[in-house]
Amino acid sequence: MIAGRVSVRRARPPDAERLAEMERACFRSPQPHLILHVCGFVDGFLVAESDADLLGYVLFTPSSSSQARVMSLAVSPDYRRQGVGTLLMRGMLDVLRGRGFESVGLEVRVSNEAAQSLYADLGFQMAGVERGYYDDGEDAYLMEKNL
């Protein structure tokens, strides 16, 4: 269980190693180098924190002047199913609305029903399929939400 209040804040450089480790623990094809390179140096990188422990993160970026894209969302296995992923996504949506973005999109593995449910609960809708999107050949669903 999560002890204490969960807050969402911008990632900072000292978070990098812990977040790269989380990326390795959470994904079949992790990109820890991406995390290490951008942590603390981009606006679109939020972490969830409780009692100084990092619980998860969301990384997002503009894909055009009006659209943004979610690049990664992960919650540490110890803290799942307690609303942390939802909190991070809501934090991201607030940032994007504040910056005047009109929509946000993402790719999700067709097998990743947990993430698909989370996104659907937040109002994301299926927008297509990208065949062989992942390194191992799995397809991705494209999901989008108007802001």
Ligand X SMILES: CC(C)(COP(=O)(O)OP(=O)(O)OC[C@H]1O[C@@H](n2cnc3c(N)ncnc32)[C@H](O)[C@@H]1OP(=O)(O)O)[C@@H](O)C(=O)NCCC(=O)NCCS
Residues that bind ligand X (CB under 6 A): 26-27, 73-75, 80-86, 108, 112-115, 117-118, 121
Which residue sits closest to ligand X, CB atoms considered? Answer: 85
Shorter beta-carbon distance to ligand X: residue 67 or 82: 82
Shorter beta-carbon distance to ligand X: residue 89 or 100: 89
Strands 45-50 and 125-130: unpaired
- Residues whose CB falls within 8 Å of the CB of residue 119, separated by 6 or more in sequence, listed in order: 89, 106, 108, 143, 145
- Residues whose CB falls within 8 Å of the CB of residue 112, separated by 6 or more in sequence, listed in order: none
Least Å distance, CB 131 to ligand X, is: 17
Least Å distance, CB 58 to ligand X, is: 9
Q: What are phi and psi of 34, to 5 degrees?
A: -60, -45
Shorter beta-carbon distance to ligand X: residue 26 or 142: 26
Q: What tokens appear for 84 in the block?
A: 């942390």
Distance CA 60, CA 92 (A): 8
Least Å distance, CB 31 to ligand X, is: 12
DSSP conformation class of 114: H
Least Å distance, CB 142 to ligand X, is: 11
Shorter beta-carbon distance to ligand X: residue 103 or 133: 133
